[in-house]
Amino acid sequence: MRSASGMRVTERCAHGKGAGHVVDYAIRQRIHKFDHVAVLLDTDDGWTARVQKRAREKRIRVLKSEPCFEAMLLRAIGQFANGSAKHLKTRLSPCVQGDALNLHNYETRFDVEALQAGRRIEPTLDDLLRLLAA
């Protein structure tokens, strides 16, 4: 994907498994081939001082979903977002047609207008959109 400035953006999915796994996955993707590397990760699983230090040492920009991605998206559309990650996944499910792993299911509920409005509520979403627009 190319950003507005012509920068090429490469997206990869670590498939969760905790913050440490996401940072390690980014490192294993040969990050030295990229000028900038950012990860979007949940802070509710494995976000430790050691993981933070490792990301900092490898110059990985961390975008934190607190406590998880589902909570961030629910807050971005003005919904209540407290509870366990499992509960939040269940609450998000109708917004993504029951399949959170299919990226196309986000298009209806999280279109450009919704994301633009949500970035005023969610600093991490704002950071992500700024990064993609760079």
- pLDDT confidence bin for 36, thresholds 50/70/90: confident
Question: φ, ψ for residue 112 (rounded to 5)?
Answer: -55, -45
Percent of the chain scoring above 70 in pLDDT? 94
Q: How far apart are CA 73 and CA 79, in angstroms?
A: 9
Q: Please tell me the pTM assigned to this model.
A: 0.86
Does the structure show a pLDDT above 70 at 3? no
Check pLDDT > 60 for residue 2. Answer: no
Taking only the tens place, the pLDDT of each residue in 60-80 is: 999 999 999 999 999 999 999
Which pLDDT score, from 0 to 100, does residue 11 have? Answer: 84
Distance CA 38, CA 75 (A): 22
- Please tell me what DSSP assigns to residue 62: E
Crossing angle of the two packed helices 19-28 and 49-57, in degrees rounded to 10: 20
Average pLDDT of the segment spanning 36-43: 93
**Residue 90: CA count within 13 A, CB half-sphere:** 6
pLDDT in tens, 78-117: 999 999 999 999 999 999 999 988 889 999 999 999 999 9
Which sequence spans correspond to the domains of the chain? 1-65, 69-122+129-134
* Average model confidence (pLDDT) across the chain: 90
